[in-house]
Amino acid sequence: MIAPEHGGPSTATADVPRRNWAGNVRYAARAFHRPTTTDELRRLVAGSSRIRAVGTGHSFNRFGDTAGDLVTLAGLPPAIDVDAERARVTVTGALRYGDVARQLHAQGYALANLASLPHISVAGAVATASHGSGQTHGNLATSVAALELVTADGDLLHVDRDTDGDTFAGMVVGLGALGLVTRVTLDVVPTFELRQYVRLDLPREALDAALGSAYSVSVFTDWRAPRLREVWRKQRADQPPPPADWLGTTAADEPRHPVLGMPAENCTEQLGVPGPWHERLPHFKLGFTPSSGDELQSEYHLPRAAAAEALAALDDVAHLIAPVLQVCELRTVAADELWLSPNHHRDSLAVHFTWIGDPVAVAPVLAVVEERLTPFAPRSHWGKVFTTDPAALAASYPRYADFIALLGRLDPTGKFRTDELNTHFPR
């Protein structure tokens, strides 16, 4: 353990976000910190009674909010170290995926998957099992091979997939509750190119075929029409383009933005122009505002086999959804072994709602959506807005009790716990 240095240099700073990206959460921390070395961070953690890390703020709930110390790890020295022999890269956890991706590509490597926006931090995305898409791809956390984190007593802990087995599977999607993640090791593959095609007006009965038709596929709807508005297909560059009559759709003749009325220049290249993986897998360019900005988000992961039935259940309340919705995205995610992954042991359909930025208007609709999806055992994205009953949440994760036990072992005093976390994972 590293002892706190009372009277030593303070890491308190104004250079830490006071709100999340969407602005719907104002952080309640008593102090904000930006350490510049791992030893500073360890002293800070050891000397604090309550502490949490904040990444790029792309969470829409209070799982990461604390009345204690809030710390950004963005001040730690950035590192991107490729291990070619093991096909892995170790990166500073606070780095954004977009920044890691560009350097990996320059060295001839790639990550198998990316989220729709490259602006999110690696550690934050991993901790919440944030998304990617493609029926043969897991979420971003499934690429994690090792973690380095500062635990509650200020110690530096290294855990590895190869040596820590089942416990490692419980720590990857850790919700920031097991320690502050300083470094993440990810699997890499040789770099590759993709083409992105947007197709319009997909018949509902063709949804399953569309979702499995390319390397990564996203289907967008606004719940205002019988057909699904757009299909964004990200396919390997050496594969032939979709035929003119592909699944009864038509080809977009100009670039699109998923949210109607937003500028397409914010989005990654379309119309089949080939480009590197990191400039096609995300929907949005790193240098532009992702999505619309003024929004709330929810996301529910359902068994892939129940997709048609679940969407039919939502059709009955489409008249409530549409007025408070900007866009809804449908994606597939492959099953995995991670304890708190919403894709734990089941191939999934992810139903992602980008709502208007009005919590009062959205809340009653959210309750209806969750009620409609209840028969399909939905698992909510940990970083989005949801109201799932804690008992239902516990029932939906087979390793729920094991994770609570892991929390007790690694953080016996609850240093990394928050009110929201205590609600869903009581001691």
Each residue's pLDDT tens digit, 235-248: 999 999 999 999 99
* 262 in the same domain as 278: yes
How many domains in the chain? 2
Q: What are phi and psi of 262, to 5 degrees?
A: -90, 150
Q: How many CB atoms lie within 10 A of CB 167?
A: 14
* 121 in the same domain as 142: yes
- How far apart CA 303 and CA 291 sit, in angstroms, is 26
Residue 402 lies in a domain: no
* 199 in the same domain as 172: no
124-164 confidence digits (pLDDT tens): 999 999 987 888 999 999 999 999 999 999 999 999 999 99
Where does a domain end: 157, 174, 190?
A: 190
Candidates 168, 181, 70; CA nearest to 122 is 181
* 158 in the same domain as 118: yes
Residue 61 lies in a domain: no
* 277 in the same domain as 197: yes
What average pLDDT does the chain have? 92
Where does a domain end: 190, 216, 234?
A: 190
Report the CATH number at residue 241: 3.30.70.2520
Q: What are phi and psi of 86, to 5 degrees?
A: -100, 0
Percent of the chain with pLDDT over 70: 95
* 345 in the same domain as 274: yes
* 233 in the same domain as 319: yes
Candidates 101, 116, 100, 121; CA nearest to 20 is 121
* 332 in the same domain as 206: yes
Mean pLDDT of 95-99: 95
Question: What is the amino acid identity at position 197?
Answer: Y
The predicted structure's pLDDT at residue 21: 72
* 255 in the same domain as 138: no
Residue 419 lies in a domain: no
Asked which of 6-10, 59-63, 402-406 is least confident by mean pLDDT, the reply is 6-10
Question: What is the amino acid identity at position 108?
Answer: G
Q: With beta carbons less than 8 A apart as the criterion, state whether 303 and 347 touch.
A: yes
Whether the pLDDT of residue 15 is over 70: the answer is: no
301-358 confidence digits (pLDDT tens): 999 999 999 999 999 999 999 999 999 999 999 999 999 999 999 999 999 999 999 9
245-303 confidence digits (pLDDT tens): 999 999 999 999 999 999 999 999 999 999 999 999 999 998 776 665 688 999 999 99
Q: With beta carbons less than 8 A apart as the criterion, state whether 385 and 405 touch.
A: no
Asked which of 55-64, 179-188, 364-373, 408-417 is least confident by mean pLDDT, the reply is 55-64
Q: What are phi and psi of 145, to 5 degrees?
A: -105, -20
Residue 95 lies in a domain: yes
386-401 confidence digits (pLDDT tens): 998 899 989 999 999 9
Residue 13 lies in a domain: no
The predicted structure's pLDDT at residue 424: 93
* 168 in the same domain as 202: no
Q: With beta carbons less than 8 A apart as the criterion, state whether 120 and 132 touch.
A: no
The predicted structure's pLDDT at residue 56: 79
Asked which of 22-31, 178-187, 197-206 is least confident by mean pLDDT, the reply is 22-31
The predicted structure's pLDDT at residue 366: 96
- How far apart CA 381 and CA 12 sit, in angstroms, is 31
The predicted structure's pLDDT at residue 24: 78
H helices within 135-259, ranges in order? 161-171, 207-211
- Residue 19's pLDDT band (boundaries 50, 70, 90)? confident
Token pair in block for residue 344: 């734990």
Q: What is the DSSP string of 223-263?
A: SSSSSEEEEEEEEETTSPPPPTTGGG-EE-SS---SSTTS-
Q: What are phi and psi of 253, to 5 degrees?
A: -100, 5
Report the CATH number at residue 185: 3.30.465.10
Residue 67 lies in a domain: no
- Residue 16's pLDDT band (boundaries 50, 70, 90)? low
* 214 in the same domain as 166: no
Range of the domain at 234: 193-384
The predicted structure's pLDDT at residue 10: 46
The predicted structure's pLDDT at residue 65: 87
Residue 28 lies in a domain: no
Q: Which residue has the tokens 């703020």?
A: 57
342-363 confidence digits (pLDDT tens): 999 999 999 999 999 999 999 9
Where does a domain end: 156, 190, 224?
A: 190
Torsion of CA 57, 173, 134, 206, to 10 degrees: -90
Whether the pLDDT of residue 2 is over 50: the answer is: no
* 337 in the same domain as 203: yes
- Residue 9's pLDDT band (boundaries 50, 70, 90)? very low
Residue 198 lies in a domain: yes
The predicted structure's pLDDT at residue 291: 61
